[in-house]
Amino acid sequence: MKKLALLFLMLIPAAYAEPRSVVKISTKDATALVDTNDAADLKEWGNKAGTLCVEWFGKIAALLPSEGFVAPKDVTLYFDPKMKGVAHALGGKITISAGFVRSHTDDWGMVIHELTHVVQAYPNGGPGWLVEGIADYIRIVHFEPQAPRPKLTRLASYKDAYKTTAMFLEWIEKQHAPGLVVKMNAALRKGEYREELWSEITGKTVDELWAEFARTF
């Protein structure tokens, strides 16, 4: 296991009148800054999340490589007491709903999903359903492969994103095209995604692939 270093830092951003203490969790390969100033009861949870990020930065980067790309190695986790929803990543910052964490204390996969967005570092323009699907692919296939999967119905679509798309990607890799996710990741990162890639990589359109996948549930 990589040696972790935990430091307490005092930051005084212009937006705050009071100094803010953050916890710096780092190895020689990655760093996470954990800010639970506005949700002090989540300090322990936040530190575990920061440690998880440091441990998984390199793993996610290795799972989503592309030529000439150097993956980020730094992330800030901020726990927002007013945020609705779950979490979102923007650049090198992950904002997490404090209320969600209090109700879902075992949801470490959410952290991995958002950290994957940090590593993806895609420019704007790619289909959101695929971006979110790849993030959940990392989560359910590599981080928590034993976790229960949702039961899909005939109303499902590959454009539903998240776990639905992740399961679709996993099935394509097993049945048609190992390495599909890496290739789609590279195209998205370069801003070169186009729908024809599905046919070029697998020999079938995305709709044909989904129709075949749908027959399995």
The residue type at 14: A
pLDDT at 12: 47
Q: How many helices (H) and strands (E) does the chain have?
A: 8, 6
Could you tell me if 101 and 78 are in contact, meaning their C-beta atoms sit under 8 angstroms apart?
A: no
Give how far the C-alpha of residue 11 lies from the chain's centroid of Cα atoms, to the nearest Å: 27
pLDDT at 171: 98
pLDDT at 9: 65
Mean pLDDT by 10 residues, the chain (217 residues): 65 58 95 98 98 98 97 97 97 97 98 98 96 98 96 97 98 98 98 98 98 96
What pTM did the predictor assign? Answer: 0.92
CA–CA distances in Å: residue 214 to residues 5, 126, 130, 211: 47, 24, 17, 5
Query: In this structure, is the dihedral angle defined by the CA atoms of residues 71, 47, 96 and 14, taken in order, positive or negative?
Result: negative
pLDDT at 4: 76
Q: Per-domain residue ranges for the chain?
A: 5-120, 128-214
User: How many angstroms separate the CA atoms of 122 and 187, rounded?
Assistant: 9
CATH number, domain 5-120: 1.10.390.10
The residue type at 75: V
User: How many angstroms separate the CA atoms of 48 and 36, rounded?
Assistant: 12
